Amino acid sequence: MKTGAKILIESLLHEGVDAIFGYPGGTVLPIYDELYDSSLRHILVRHEQAAVHAADGYARASGRVGVCLATSGPGACNLVTGIATAYMDSVPVVAITGQVPTTLLGNDAFQESDITGITLPITKHSYLVNNAGELGKIVHEAFYIAGTGRMGPVLIDIPKDVQTDVVADPETVPEKVSIRGYQPTVRGHPKQIEKAVSMISGASRPVIYAGGGVIASGGDAELMRFAETMMIPVTTTLMGLGAIPAHHPLNLGMLGMHGTQSANYAVTECDLLIAVGARFDDRVTGKLESFAPNAQVIHIDIDPAEIGKNKAVDLPIVGDVRQVLKEINLKLTEKRVQSPWNDRLAEWKSQSIQPPAVDTGLLTPQYIVRTLSDLLTDSGIIVTEVGQNQMWAAQHYSFTRPRQWITSGGLGTMGYGFPAAIGASIACPDKTVVDIAGDGSFQMNIQELATVVQYNIPVKIMILNNQYLGMVRQWQELFYDRRYSYTELPSVDFVGIAKAYGVPGICVTDPADVKDALRQSLTCDGPFLLDFRIEREENVMPMVPAGAAINEMILGDKR
């Protein structure tokens, strides 16, 4: 005889869950009572939004499904932004919510919300559980759906009486999940693979456009083999950073609004664009009709709904990125040598803006990020908030491997970074996890300082503090005649706040102190906060204005 709550906890352990991020409330009390005696590790965050971001960061860092738990009504609704964040970036998360008893459903009961309805557009699937005996099967299905095909969040909403119901004979959970209508395509169609090989072999100016699907599928090794065999340059999306090492000769860097000159010029001039696990989102394409205007396009993606959604495609291949690249690599029998196209791209790369690699006398974010990159080498996981801090990190940190870069790409969620860094640190305790933050973003989930202290989670917080909502201010400077409407933030004593929670910290105002401050942070056993007072009106460059073609960049100073 088992209660629904006990079945839930046993099912999570059966799925290999070792940590869950949550916040208790009235409708999940039976679950928390079972957690009290369970071996399952629970991290008590200080806001439900932080719970889902932490589960998201856990999933991105580890490749496993992240799990969060919240009560009904406001608790469940506080998960919505984080669920949408995971949905937009295809991150496998299972969100468990409590619900009012089934007898009160639809009565506007205290703390009742239709969370399955609210999250319908931002989940892969959702369950409202009516029978405790089905909980084991539902949990098993939820993990399967979240972690297969195009990954994403799944919600399980459990009424309180279902949690307390006693079940004598729970439904048997099959080892292999079979869901009618849900059969992700893994292998590419053989004839499409043949056509792709022919197009690749015949192209004179090919470019690979790699996205987050490469990392989600574990396809980075096959990508490297493909690129090196055919000597094809690679540009990545924001989500694809780490798919190819930053210093690899074939790496053109990031594409799009804040991409490199070489990547944006290469895609504009190429005659074949091979999109691999990437969607053609507007921050990448800019003016769509000017994006790769003279190129044939091959699009490899596990989600058929992405094919042709934004950009017309000449050859679609639906399948798992790693598997499709493996199939293509098996067909490539001849290795291509350096071509005039490679020489031209190398020249563009050499002409690109070189970020400041040394102390310029000013406390610039570029110098801080590059110094951090030099100190951490390959050992760090970089998590960011959203805004200028995110783009400076993307442009100036040298990522060398997948899952080293965690950021909110699709939804652009301010307040994401710090709790996601907590999740990443729980998932990878052997790695140094750094949250690169802006002073605006960090204040959105600053209360999680209490969480890192309670569990001694050694996240390093690095605030690039310009006392502005920096990216919005940059747009106001460039496109609104410097009318800084409500983007200036008053000075905050972040070190004082951190110390009040029990986190040590340093405020850095002199560029000569950057390296020593970073070293002190990285050698500290627990959490640490660095408040860098950077140049206030430093901009992220290059930049493609909204609506412009990606080769129409504002380049800025070549400092």
Which residues are marked as active site? 48, 110-111, 160, 471
Whether 286 contacts 544, CB under 8 Å: yes
Q: Which residues contact 385 (CB under 8 A, 6 or more apart)?
A: 414, 415, 416, 417, 418, 435, 436, 437, 438, 441, 442, 444
b/e 70-106 (16+ beta carbons within 10 angstroms → b):
bbbbebbbbbbbbbbbbbbbbbbbbbbbbbbbbeeee
Find where tokens 């944006």 sit.
264
Please choose, from the candidates 28, 272, 252, 244, the residue with its C-alpha nearest in 3D space to the C-alpha of residue 156. Answer: 28
| Half-sphere exposure at residue 53, Cβ-oriented, CA atoms within 13 angstroms | 30
Please choose, from the candidates 516, 470, 467, the residue with its C-alpha nearest in 3D space to the C-alpha of residue 494. Answer: 467
Please choose, from the candidates 3, 25, 46, the residue with its C-alpha nearest in 3D space to the C-alpha of residue 96. Answer: 25
DSSP 249-292: TTEEEE-STT--HHHHHHHHH-SEEEEES----HHHHBSGGGSS
Whether 206 contacts 270, CB under 8 Å: yes
Q: Which two tokens stand for residue 381?
A: 């996981």
DSSP 200-226: HHH-SSEEEEE-HHHHHHT-HHHHHHH
Whether 474 contacts 536, CB under 8 Å: no
Angle at 459 between CA 453 and CA 463, to 5 degrees: 105
Please choose, from the candidates 139, 123, 135, 143, the residue with its C-alpha nearest in 3D space to the C-alpha of residue 159. Answer: 135
Single-letter amino acid code for the residue at 498: A
Q: Which residues contact 174 (CB under 8 A, 6 or more apart)?
A: 137, 140
Q: Which residues contact 301 (CB under 8 A, 6 or more apart)?
A: 150, 213, 275, 277, 278, 279, 307, 317, 318, 321
Segments of 150-205 assigned E as strands: 153-159, 166-167
Torsion sign over Cα 330, 220, 18, 113? negative
Angle at 304 between CA 298 and CA 307, to 5 degrees: 40
What is d(CA 128, CA 185) in angstroms, rounded to the nearest whole number?
A: 27
What is d(CA 352, CA 365) in angstroms, rounded to the nearest whole number?
A: 19
- Judging by beta carbons within 10 Å of its beta carbon (0-12, 13-18, 19+), is residue 354 exposed, middle or buried? exposed
What is d(CA 243, CA 223) in angstroms, rounded to the nearest whole number?
A: 8
Backbone Cα Rg of the chain = 24
